[in-house]
Amino acid sequence: MARTKQSGGEASTPLIIALVFFVLLSIGLGVMYYMAQNTIAEAEKKATDETGKAKASELAMKKAQDREKLYKLFVGTATSEEATYMNNPSNETKDEVRAAHRALLEAVNSKISSAVKNNEKALTDKGAGFGLPPTEVYTWNWPDAGQLPSAPSPLPLMDRLVKVVAERELAVRQTEIETTNAKNELAALSAEKKKYSDNIIDYSKKLDAAVKALSDAREAVEKDKVTAIAKLDTLGEDFRKEKTRVAVAVEEVELQKKKLEEQNAALGARVERLTARDAELSEQKAGAFPFNPPHGEILARTGGGKMVDISIGSAANVKPGQSFKVQPSSTRTEGLGSRRKQTYDQSGNLVVSDELMSKGAVEVVKVLGPNLSSARITEETDEIRDGILKGDLLYNPLFKKGAADHVVLYGIFDIDADGIDDIRDVAQQLQKRGVIVDGYYDLASRKWESLDVKNTKPGPTQITTYAVKGWLPDPKSDSFVTASMADVLAAIEGASKEASAKGIQEIRAIKFFPEIGLRLDPKISDGTVNQAAIKFTRDVPKPADK
């Protein structure tokens, strides 16, 4: 309906314009006819009355004819020859024609302005938005120094009028078509509305029928339920008795099964421990450094028994601060692995740890000569029954006479079992013992780092002696970071392969540290290692809601 109203408004504008043009046409034709007839009559009278002035009469006639051509040109009935002539009239009639042109425009413009003013309020109230200056109907100026255009622009008055009437008719027809379409659409909407109302009524009836059917079905189910309960009650007591008997039997079977599984698991674990122990004892007997000879021996205890003299000094490039583990003189023949710490678990099984049972440790205080240094006893396992004596041997797998060993570190180094990686602290402790750390693998940055700021290329080199491998996270543990933990493990293995490619001997930290006097917390477990590794995981997913 909004479209129909808009179309009606558009159609009224051409109708108003057509009315104005009809008025203009009537005015123009009347003025033209009146002026032409009046001029011709005057010319004839002058020609008759003033026979002696033939030339003047002829000029007046010519002026009248040129003015007539001007009016025909304005209306749009002039021939092409007349239009061409009027572009530049003769000098004799030009002033007369220009005066007539000016008078014609003033009269027409005045009439159009008056008509517009008289009808503007009524047209505006109807929504036509009418405001038509004369120059919008036509433009036909005569430039002061130029030629008169062949006709008013954009069209002569008659052609313009026909075009306006045609546009009005087209608008009226378009309005009628749109009105018809709107009526048809309204009728279709009414039909759809009726159909929708009928469907609602039909749906309501069907819904009522369905509700009733559901209610009837529910009543039938309730009746069947009461009947079934009554039947079950008659069998309930016997069923409960049988159920109790079966439950007791099942429970006894489950208990028996559980005992058998526990016994089987215990036997399997014992077999695994014994098998692993056989392999471990063979390895431990030789030690982590099977071909590592002692570096010196205890010469005497001094300083009230808290100091000792040792048989190595400046010739071996010993420095104050270097430490040595002390083993009995029998280690030359029995091997370092013969003195492992042994305990018993809760089941009474013998457990041999990776920790060496040394007699103690000493730290160099002062170098006294080429083969003599003074050292302080920093650890003594059992001063009464197994104290440090003259002749005991000194061991440090990272000490070489005349030169310091080079190592690299990679893996998790949580040596105090607090769930935090200590790899940088380990590197610092090793350097205090005279070991050169060529680099440690930083799992946070996934690259080799160095304590020495001058070392621009940290990591394994051709002169690195040992590659110390720390603890490894368990990606199969019950953790929501399993996938990321596997990524951490892969990074550690990548560092290991890099060291192996340079032919560097790999040693596990759990075997290596006890032999150089670096103590480990016995509470280190897979749990603390995984806890230390979690901070190095990437894109850690959130735990799933349970």
Which tens digits make up the pLDDT trace of 113-143?
Answer: 777 677 666 555 554 455 556 665 667 777 7
Residue 3, pLDDT > 50, answer no
Q: What is the pLDDT of residue 285?
A: 45
What is the rounded average pLDDT of the residues 51-73? 80
CB atoms within 10 A of CB 287: 21
**Residue 506 near residue 469, CB atoms below 8 Å:** yes
Q: What is the pLDDT of residue 198?
A: 78
Q: What is the pLDDT of residue 325?
A: 87
Instruction: List phi, psi (to 5°) of 363.
Output: -125, 130
Distance CA 36, CA 92 (A): 18
Q: Where in the chain is the domain with CATH 3.40.50.10190?
A: 405-546
Q: What is the pLDDT of residue 523?
A: 82
**Which residues are paired to 408 by β-bridges?**
439, 467
Weakest mean pLDDT among 13-22, 43-52, 179-188, 527-536: 43-52
Confidence of residue 493 (pLDDT cuts 50, 70, 90): very high
Phi-psi map region of 288: left, alpha, beta (phi>0 left; psi -120 to 50 alpha): alpha
CATH topology of domain 405-546: Rossmann fold (3.40.50)
Q: Does domain 292-401 fall into CATH 2.40.10.410? A: yes
Q: What is the pLDDT of residue 280?
A: 47
Q: Where in the chain is the domain with CATH 2.40.10.410?
A: 292-401
What is the rounded average pLDDT of the residues 52-74? 81
Which tens digits make up the pLDDT trace of 322-366?
Answer: 888 898 988 776 666 566 666 666 776 766 665 667 888 999 999
Instruction: List phi, psi (to 5°) of 261.
Output: -65, -40
Weakest mean pLDDT among 2-11, 432-441, 516-525: 2-11
Which tens digits make up the pLDDT trace of 437-454?
Answer: 999 999 999 999 999 888
Amino acid letter for position 28: G
Which residue would you say has higher pLDDT here, 51 or 67? 67
* Long-range contacts formed by 124-127: CB under 8 A, 24+ apart: 126/9, 126/12, 127/9, 127/12
Nearest to 282 by CA among 333, 337, 336, 350: 337
**Which residues are paired to 386 by β-bridges?**
382
Which residue would you say has higher pLDDT here, 109 or 425? 425
